[in-house]
A and B are shown apart, each in its own frame.
Chain A
Amino acid sequence: MAPALLSLAGEDVGHGNRVILPRLSLTLHAGERVALLGQSGAGKSTLLAALRRRLAGEVAWCPQSHGLVPQLAVYHNVYMGRLERHSALANLWNLVRPERRAWTEIGQLCAELGLDGLLKRPVARLSGGQRQRVAIARALYQQRRVFLGDEPVASVDPHQALRLLALIDARHATSVVALHQRELALSHFDRVWGLREGRLVLDATTDTLTLADLDRLYPDADVPPDKPADEDAHG
């Protein structure tokens, strides 16, 4: 088996003093693609935030709220993915006049994501799906080993979701992606982590799982799992 990137052994995970995932044990292996499933409020965002903290410099991060700045252009929002690699002065000047190399690079990346021609447009004037792709573009632009996404394909159609996941896979060997499309989790990922009420109740490779196994993560059968109620950022 591939080496472990990160292991948790019975650790309490949460925000500050508030424990949301008590005594959590799991291992993230290099080269593995993990789908993270669970109802709204099950603790998905908390787990992702904890992974992000521990893997600090190695992760490309695509948060659920997108974290975009609506007043800035698409180009600048994507550029923010590498803000820490330039001096403050270079970053300031880039606001006034885009840096040539970054412009070309981000232009190509955006073309792959179907955002061509929108580089100069403020994010405020994009559609929901376009914003989601800008958030993914920013994460890809970070060029990290591990991709962490909190529902990065929630507001795009299934066809496009596949394309975006393929793009993410092409650039990251390892990924943890929170989802609510169960079929996608089985068809596209190596492993599923299932959270329920703050506990990891499912941790198995996808070749051993069926859709029925995943359904058990969603006890409220009345609520269709692929249309979660507005999940708060800390999930």
Chain B
Amino acid sequence: MAESAAPGILRGDSPGLRLARRSLALIALCAVLLPFADLAVVAHDPWAELGRMAAGLALPHWRELSSPLHAIGLTVSVALWGTLLGVLLGFPLALVFFRSRLVRAGCAFVRAIHELFWALLFLQVFGLSAVTALAALAVPYAGIFAKVYAEILEQTPAAAADSLPPGVGRLSRFVYAELPLVWERLAAYTRYRFECSLRASVLLGFVGLPTLGFHLESAFREGHYHEAGALLWLFYLLIGSIGLWAHRRLLPLLALGCLFLLGPWPDVDAGLLWRFVSHDLWPAPLLNGDPAGLVAWLGAIPDLGPAIGNTLLLGLMGTVGALVIALLLWPLASRHFGNRASRLGGSALLIGLRSTPELMLAFIFLLLLGPSMLPAWLALALHNGALIAFLAARHADGVEPGMPDLTASGRYAYELLPRIYPGLLALLFYRAEVIIRETALLGMLGVATLGFHIDSSFQYLMFDQAFFLLLVTAGLNIVVDAVARRYRPREVVMDDPCSR
């Protein structure tokens, strides 16, 4: 009788091993490239600074807030109307999404640029105004809504429409036999996107719009940690209580009220706007038809190669970091591990990290650790890792272990992880698009990614260069998304649009 030898490390054909090999390859790639990243800790005493921040968070000074209600009102108004406008623009596009290559390409493009970059662009024309804030949210969201709505609509069960008598018009068929069947899913996604827009609206403060983020940034920057702590608590309160104040029935009233809080409205000079769009955004040699000049113009862009390299590297590091964090943290919020108190604390930690935008996390780490890639890496890994961990924990909670008496490590490795890992990895690959978009953005904090050069080009009023770099960023994002899609596990069990 021939006894077969036990297979070598990670040898085998089970889907789990295949995914493990894929994940380890990703981690190995990241480890090899890590020496190229600038990970120095520059701050002289990060622990003391961290202590002061923690004290600020523990003992917030509510009285020092100058006009928190106005900031909150504006934050909510921008988020709400930005989302509503995004829906209004995106829904019609969703109806033609799969029929028009042009619409798909356009949506991919507007999606690929972060809200804050859109804000920087619109800022040049509309100034620090409500139009800038609304457009910065509505434009990318239109692209996102178009895609996600189209995917949801595509999955409408056909039985109801098939049973209609012949000759029913397109619109009637849609509102009776299609829309009601997917309404819940559309609404759930819109709700999730509103939550995202609330975070984005806060972030708009980082480019000078007077939302909550504006006050947060200045409080942190000036070291007023007790004031910053109060603002941070306000922010968490706002996000945590969405279910209360953004109730379905309250929404029309809320939308109407918010309309009055929006402002200021700019005086738009049509001539200036046209000049900006037709002239300022484009390189002069291109407009003059001068190919040699265009090459020189391209050559004059500083550090384009390193910027792209840094963006990709940080994106990879962020993705791998998120994977590691997710694998470590998901048991904290799962019913299969720990006790009631540990689960409550774990869930709070994950939700807190998930709710804090990367930019804000990175900003806080930057104050602690000094300017390098490290703060950005930590922020990307923690935020996205926590988000994935939370969904993975919910997924694991739906699993009934076949052998409930196993030890914790046995449960983790044999019962639960094999079941949830494909979904977890699929989520991570979906998330890669978001991570690379955020990576570019974190350049605004001084990390030498594309966003750093976009930000400084805008500051030096070199709009042609800024716009070109935005196009490069969008292109990079689309490529990364395509690659991630290629390597995503197919057997998706956690495909929830509310994670993208």
Q: Which residue of B lies closest to A84 (CB)?
A: B167
Q: Is A14 an interface residue (CB 8 A)?
A: no
Inter-chain contacts of A210 with B (CB < 8 A): none
A-side interface residues, number (CB < 8 Å) = 26
Q: Which residue of B lies closest to A142 (CB)?
A: B165
Inter-chain contacts of A84 with B (CB < 8 A): 164-169, 172
Per-residue interface assignment for chain B, residues 168 to 186, with 1 indicating a CB less than 8 Å from any chain A CB and 0 otherwise: 1101110111001101100
State the majority secondary structure of interface residues on B.
Answer: helix
Q: Is the CB of B163 within 8 A of A67?
A: yes
Inter-chain contacts of B171 with A (CB < 8 A): 88, 91-92
> Given A57-B167, A71-B180 in contact, is the A83-B162 Cβ separation under 8 Å?
no
Q: Is the CB of A71 within 8 A of B181?
A: yes
Q: Least Cβ distance of A120 to chain B in Å?
A: 15
Q: Which residue of A lies closest to B178 (CB)?
A: A69
Residues of A215-230 contacting chain B, CB below 8 A: none
A84–B176 Cα distance when bound, in Å, is 12
Tell which of A56, A138, A142, A233 touches B159, judged by Cβ atoms closer than 8 Å.
A233
Which of A76, A84, A92 has the largest count of B CB atoms less than 10 A from its CB? A84
A72–B167 Cα distance when bound, in Å, is 21
Q: Least Cβ distance of A62 to chain B in Å?
A: 8
Q: Is B160 an interface residue (CB 8 A)?
A: yes
Q: Is the CB of A65 within 8 A of B159?
A: yes
Residues of A96-140 contacting chain B, CB below 8 A: 138
Q: Which residue of A lies closest to B172 (CB)?
A: A91
Q: Is the CB of A69 within 8 A of B168?
A: no
Q: Which residue of B lies closest to A72 (CB)?
A: B180
Tell which of B162, B173, B183 touches A63, judged by Cβ atoms closer than 8 Å.
B162
Q: Is the CB of B163 within 8 A of A61?
A: yes
Inter-chain contacts of A69 with B (CB < 8 A): 160, 176-177, 180-181
Known: A63-B159, A63-B163. 8 other contacts (CB 8 A): A66-B163, A70-B181, A71-B181, A84-B164, A84-B167, A88-B171, A91-B169, A91-B176
Q: Can you give 16 contacting A-B residue pairs, CB < 8 Å?
A: A57-B167, A61-B165, A65-B159, A67-B160, A69-B160, A71-B180, A71-B184, A82-B165, A83-B173, A84-B164, A84-B168, A84-B169, A88-B169, A91-B171, A95-B176, A233-B159
Residues of B within 8 A of A (CB): 159-169, 171-173, 175-177, 180-181, 183-184
Residues of A within 8 A of B (CB): 56-57, 61, 63, 65-72, 76, 80-84, 86, 88, 91-92, 95, 138, 142, 233
